[in-house]
Amino acid sequence: MTTRVPVKSATAPYEVVIGFDVLGELAGLVGAKDGTGAARVAVLHPSALADRLEPVLEVLGAADVSTLTIEVPDGEAAKTADVLVSCWDRLGEAGFTRNDLVIGYGGGSTTDLAGFVAASWLRGVGFISIPTTVLGMVDAAVGGKTGINTAAGKNLVGAFHEPRGVLCELGLLQHLPEVEIRSGLAEVVKCGFITDPQILDLVDTAPAALQQWDSPELGEAITRGIAVKAEVVAADLTERTSSGSDVARELLNYGHTYGHAVERHENFRIRHGEAVAIGMVYVAELARRLGLMDDALAARHRTALAAVGLPTGYTGDWAALRAVMAKDKKARGTTLRFVALSDIGQAQMLTGPDEDVLRACHEALG
């Protein structure tokens, strides 16, 4: 079954299409054959997908556009200034004009890079995202954020550039390692806690199926996760700051304050989703100790995440982790900010919680 999630954006609205055999829709996104559509299309893809370009190239061939494939390094290694420059060079050699298009075909790393190539070439050409990981579908493909890393940190250089459309071809998940499926599921479970309890029901009833690339449950969970992200982003198109009880787009950072610190403290040897899973258990414990969340919901964080094979404990050194948290680009000065829940879908910001409680929650994860 094919599902469509409409996304409001600061520029033109677009759709995320989710299902099996949806790549044919690329033809419509690329444009008409009558000369009004794109003449050239660049497909940025990681080495891991070099053998799986055929379905995309077939559709582009039938649409009569000249296609340039640009292979970039796998994963995070694609998000560098050097790779960005090499992509600009390829577009320059091929004579890319404002009318032409960039397609990102890969995980979140590839689509972040490809989106930024599209945002920066001639100050912005059309972009189509074909995310091929669960995380790429649920998180990176909606919201318009594109960018690369620098020596100073991740995602420090970038632009908002909305895609013309997003195609989530579930068949592409077949070769994705299960550990990557689980990592993406962490963001889906997050969407359950922050907005959509039906996702948590799926976790309760079908935890094994959720980890299988071709299960209807995974397809439904991905669709629901995308819908949550689209809704939150649409309510906050200008990415305002949360104020008072209004959490705005920061809601999507649930579990990320502690999670980012774990990721950085572990030098990114731990996957993003795994770190976010640990971060959600941490912030649930924090909310519980501060009397916001009841014991049952805090316990549900651990059981739900463990059910889909995600980690729920962490024993790293507190002092070092706390120092990393203070340096988070999203922190304001040295005051820590956490998105916390009092119930499913009921969020508020916690600013500068007591240091002893912060430490005790960390110790409770050990």
Ligand X SMILES: NC(=O)c1ccc[n+]([C@@H]2O[C@H](COP(=O)([O-])OP(=O)(O)OC[C@H]3O[C@@H](n4cnc5c(N)ncnc54)[C@H](O)[C@@H]3O)[C@@H](O)[C@H]2O)c1
Q: Which residues bind ligand X (CB under 6 A)?
A: 46, 48-49, 74-76, 79, 106-110, 112, 132-133, 135-136, 139-140, 143, 145, 154-155, 172-173, 175-176, 180, 272
Residues with Cβ within 8 Å of residue 116, at least 6 apart in sequence: 84, 146, 147, 148, 157, 158, 159, 161
Nearer to ligand X by Cβ, of 264 and 272: the residue is 272
Residue position matching structure tokens 């577009």 = 91
Nearer to ligand X by Cβ, of 167 and 298: the residue is 167
Work out how close the CB of 297 gets to ligand X at its nearest, in angstroms, rounded to a whole number. 25
Nearer to ligand X by Cβ, of 34 and 54: the residue is 54
Nearer to ligand X by Cβ, of 104 and 126: the residue is 104
Does an H or E element contain 19, and which? strand 14-19
- Residue 74 to residue 93: CA distance in whole angstroms: 23
Q: Do the beta carbons of residue 306 and residue 316 sit within 8 Å?
A: no
Work out how close the CB of 50 gets to ligand X at its nearest, in angstroms, rounded to a whole number. 10
Nearer to ligand X by Cβ, of 180 and 196: the residue is 180
Across-strand partners of 121?
none
Work out how close the CB of 233 gets to ligand X at its nearest, in angstroms, rounded to a whole number. 9
Residues with Cβ within 8 Å of residue 45, at least 6 apart in sequence: 53, 69, 70, 71, 72, 105, 106, 110
Work out how close the CB of 170 gets to ligand X at its nearest, in angstroms, rounded to a whole number. 10
Nearer to ligand X by Cβ, of 168 and 298: the residue is 168
Sign of CA dihedral 323, 251, 273, 180: negative
Work out how close the CB of 139 gets to ligand X at its nearest, in angstroms, rounded to a whole number. 4
Residue 351, φ and ψ in degrees, nearest 5 = -115, 125
Work out how close the CB of 286 gets to ligand X at its nearest, in angstroms, rounded to a whole number. 23
